């Protein structure tokens, strides 16, 4: 007798984190992806000035969809900001595990467009939480938060009990999101897990995160722009580690109604990042720019709780993760996804 698979619903499932999670889960679970394709979408990149970079991003977005379809994952083109329609769809799917990953993924973008950030992050979260109330078989609601809600690190390392003092729109809304999730647990007993990643990087990212920007600048033979003196440290997290950690949390009852840092667990400076990049791009050019005052000074996120409760340990240090990511870019270069200036 064929065992019926448990169901997973991912709001924002075509995004950087979402499509990687869906593909990893689809062998063991019945996965449904819901996405409005409104943030970092093909139409958005096409509307911008036509250039090599935007053409590359469009190809990557198409590749994400292709990979989801090849994995036979159900894809629903639905805007989670529409409460009636998303509620109806959630009831239809009736998931055991509910991931809310819909968001504007970059702090700088959030500070420039606060309404859009609220609309795509908080409104979609509220609708998702409320829709989940009717789910009789729901085992867990997962919310992807951020290390940005810690604000300025007062010590080199923070843990989940560190007081949160977010700086700027992005961190403030992530903090509000956490409170909403906990509130629904208090009032409606919605089981949850909150995840706080940091400085995420990996293949098929189009949201202009720091390592992505640096690698693409190096490929184009453009100078890498460094904010300040480069001594600032970040706890860089490879996408594969994040996905593995999220799945471990799914499978463990010990992660129920808990908040977790989910990072590599050791911060590295921007200068260290540049030195790794120089191994692959010896002629790398660097340009120093004024530091953004709304970007908090950060450091290491303690991984002791994830280690102790769910026995999770990250596998990809910065050297290993960047090697994979750069090799992926080289592969795409060979496949004519783009043409770097270094190849001309």
Question: 114-161: per-residue pLDDT in tens?
Answer: 888 888 889 999 999 999 999 999 999 999 999 999 999 999 999 999
CB 221 within 8 A of CB 157: no
Residue 168 lies in a domain: yes
Residue 336 banded pLDDT, cuts 50, 70, 90: confident
Mean pLDDT of the chain: 91
What percent of the chain clears pLDDT 70, i.e. is strictly above it? Answer: 92
In a domain, 146, yes or no: yes
Whether 47 shows a pLDDT value over 60: the answer reads no
Determine, yes or no, domain membership for 220.
no
pLDDT of residue 339: 57
Q: Angle at which helices 270-280 and 210-219 pack, to 10 degrees?
A: 30
* Inside any domain, residue 178: yes
> Alpha-carbon distance 182 to 184, whole Å?
5
Residue 42 in any domain: the answer is yes
Q: How far apart, in whole angstroms, are the C-alpha atoms of residue 81 and residue 79? A: 5
Helices (H), the chain: 16-25, 42-47, 52-70, 83-93, 107-112, 114-117, 124-132, 168-188, 210-219, 239-251, 270-280, 304-310, 318-334
Is 280 within a domain? no
Q: Which domain holds residue 307?
A: 7-201+235-263+300-316
Task: Name the domain count of the chain.
Answer: 1
Positive or negative, the CA dihedral 155, 157, 160, 161 is negative
Residue 206 is assigned to a structural domain of this protein: no
Mean predicted confidence (pLDDT) in 200-212: 93
- pLDDT at 277 exceeding the cut of 60: yes
- Report the CATH number at residue 163: 3.40.50.720
In a domain, 161, yes or no: yes
Residue 39's pLDDT is 60
The answer to whether 103 touches 144, Cβ cutoff 8 Å, is: yes
């Amino acid at each position: 007798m064929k065992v019926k698979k448990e169901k997973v619903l991912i709001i924002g499932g075509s995004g950087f984190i979402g499509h990687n999670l869906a593909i990893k889960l689809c062998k063991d679970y019945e996965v449904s992806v819901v996405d409005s394709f409104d943030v970092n979408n093909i139409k958005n990149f096409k509307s911008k000035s036509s250039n090599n970079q935007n053409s590359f991003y469009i190809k990557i977005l198409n590749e994400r969809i292709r990979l989801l379809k090849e994995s036979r994952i159900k894809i629903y083109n639905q805007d989670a900001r529409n409460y009636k329609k998303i509620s109806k769809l959630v009831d239809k799917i009736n998931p055991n595990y509910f991931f809310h990953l819909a968001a504007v993924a970059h702090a700088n973008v959030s500070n420039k467009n606060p309404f859009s950030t609220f609309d795509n992050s908080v409104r979609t979260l509220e609708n998702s939480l409320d829709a989940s109330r009717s789910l009789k078989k729901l085992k867990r609601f997962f919310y992807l938060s951020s290390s940005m809600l810690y604000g300025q690190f007062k010590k080199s390392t923070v843990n989940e009990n560190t007081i949160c003092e977010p700086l700027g729109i992005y961190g403030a809304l992530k903090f509000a999101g956490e409170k909403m999730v906990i509130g629904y647990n208090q009032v409606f007993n919605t089981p949850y897990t909150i995840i706080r990643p940091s400085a995420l990087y990996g293949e098929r990212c189009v949201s202009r995160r720091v390592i992505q920007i640096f690698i693409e600048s190096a490929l184009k033979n453009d100078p890498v722009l460094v904010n300040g003196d480069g001594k600032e440290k970040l706890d860089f997290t490879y996408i594969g580690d994040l996905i593995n950690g999220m799945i471990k949390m799914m499978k463990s009852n010990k992660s129920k109604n808990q908040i977790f840092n989910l990072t590599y667990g050791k911060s590295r400076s921007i200068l260290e990042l540049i030195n790794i990049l120089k191994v692959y791009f010896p002629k790398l050019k660097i340009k120093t720019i004024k530091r953004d005052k709304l970007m908090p000074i950060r450091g290491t996120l303690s991984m002791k709780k994830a280690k102790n409760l769910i026995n999770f340990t990250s596998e990809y240090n910065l050297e290993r993760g960047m090697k994979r990511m750069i090799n992926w870019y080289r592969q795409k270069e060979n496949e004519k996804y783009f043409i770097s200036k270094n190849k001309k």
